[in-house]
Amino acid sequence: MPDSPVLDHHSPYETPLHRDESAIAGMWLFLASEALLFGGLFLVCLIYSHTRSAGWAEGVRHTNLVIGGVNTMILITSGAVYTMAVEAGKRGDNRRVVRAGLGAAALGVAFLVLKGVEWALEFREHLFPGPDFALHGPDAGAAELFYSFYFLATFLHGMHMVVGIGLILWICRKARHGIFGPAWNTPVDIVGLYWSFVDLVWMLLFPLLYLLGRA
Amino acid sequence: MARIATCWTMLVLLLAAELVAARAGLGAVVCVLAVLMVLVIVLGFMQILRAPPLAIIFALGGLFWLAILLALGSLDSFTRTTVPVHDTAPYAPAVR
């Protein structure tokens, strides 16, 4: 039996602060596991970009730097815009949460559309690994390996973007009903952590896929 | 708002610097700039320093295990010595 109604209301947490801090710590624990998921991909890149550097760089030179650069700008801006939603949530400004959230989600969709265009161009140029792979020569095997990494990494990151956009829209729906206030806005904060993490992963993928070995 | 604008500007400048460094073939500089961009996001957008202590422990733990994964996973590839084998006779059973 709980000792007081306050304890019962926040059960199993002692206070609202304990509840909110547990939620934030839980998100960081999830993000730590995500870092290890992407860490496996970075390990593949670390090894093969050194042991098969010529073919790996050949693959990097064939990626579309313009689309990659524009997409990086879009994600940087989207991350900043959603952080505005987090700040608005802390003030209890639900209308601004919706506006900033929709802006961040729209930029996320723009990223995915551009990535789709980039994939379509690469499929047309036969850069997808397989029997019709476009690059030939002694380093073609390593270039094919690079493109395996490229498609897997961008697909995995894209799936995280889809989940993030869904979470942001869920936040916007809740904010439209005016449920966030200075006393409780943890979901806005937690989705912000996830969205920033997706942003962060791209900041590491971008140089690996588009820059290192291009010169 | 000023914090967010500062972080956004820093990220854009770091991205521009990354592109210049990549064009100049400075791979190590590109890597350093990428790490700086990650730091700007973690400190500026995610505000790890204002997070509860348990969250900071989880973040550091994730970083620690990531370092273990990358270090142990790449150890063999970076330290293995390939010894060329010359003039090896094809295997043939000994004739008695």
How many alpha carbons lie under 13 Å from residue A34 in its C-beta half-sphere? Answer: 20
Q: Rounded to whole angstroms, how far apart are CA atoms A15 and A1? A: 17
Alpha-carbon distances of A91 from A103, A117, A172, A181, B15, rounded to whole Å: 19, 39, 15, 6, 31
Q: Which residue in this structure is represented by tokens 């990659």?
A: A68
What pLDDT was estimated at residue A171? 95
Look at residue B87 and tell me whether its pLDDT is greater than 80.
no
Residue in A153, A162, A155 with CA at minimum distance from that of residue A194? A162
Percent of chain A with pLDDT over 70: 95
Cis peptide before A12 (omega within 30 of 0): yes
Tokens standing for residue A136: 């030939």
Confidence of residue A12 (pLDDT cuts 50, 70, 90): confident
Nearest CB among A24, A42, A200 relative to B55 is that of: A24
* CB within 8 Å: B62 and A50: no
Q: Where are the domains of chain B?
A: 1-46, 51-78
Assess whether pLDDT exceeds 80 at residue A1.
Answer: no
Among A193, A50, A54, CA closest to B45: A193
Helix, strand, coil share (%) of chain B residues, nearest 5: 75, 0, 25
Distance from CA of A172 to the nearest CA of B (A): 19
State which residue of chain B sits closest to A200, comparing Cα positions: B38
Mutate to test the interface with B, among A200, A202, A208 (most CBs of B within 10 A): A200
What pLDDT is recorded for position A139? 83
pLDDT at B59: 95
| pTM of the complete model | 0.89
Contact predicate A70/A172, CB 8 Å: no
Q: What is the pLDDT of residues A18-37, one digit of tens each?
A: 888 889 999 999 999 999 99
Decide which of A7 and A215 is more confident. A215
Give the residue from A122, A33, A109, A38 showing the smallest Cα distance to A75: A109
- Please check the confidence at residue B89 and state whether its pLDDT lies above 80: no
Question: Which one is predicted more confidently, A4 or A61?
Answer: A61
CB < 8 Å to A192, chain B: 45-46
Per-residue pLDDT tens for B24-82?
989 899 999 999 999 999 999 999 999 999 999 999 999 999 999 999 999 988 888 87
| ipTM for the complex shown | 0.89
User: What are the structural domain ranges in chain A?
Assistant: 38-211
Provide the pLDDT for residue A4: 46
- Residues of chain B contacting residue A46, judged by C-beta atoms under 8 Å apart: 70, 73-74
Fold of A38-211: Four Helix Bundle (Hemerythrin (Met), subunit A) (1.20.120)
pLDDT > 50? residue B84: yes
Give the largest Cα separation in chain B, rounded: 88
Predicted local distance difference test score (pLDDT) of residue B95: 59
Q: How many CB atoms lie within 10 A of CB B74?
A: 17
What is the nearest CA distance from A93 to chain B, expressed in angstroms? 14
Residue predicted with more confidence, A138 or A152: A152
What's the CA gap between B16 and A74, in Å, rounded? 14
* pLDDT 10s digits, A44-80: 999 998 888 889 999 999 999 999 999 999 999 999 9
Contact A72, B15 (CB under 8 A): yes
Q: Which residues pair with A181 in a beta bridge?
A: A184
Q: Using the beta-carbon criterion (under 8 Å), do B12 and A76 form an inter-chain contact? A: yes
Q: Write down the pLDDT at residue B94.
A: 60
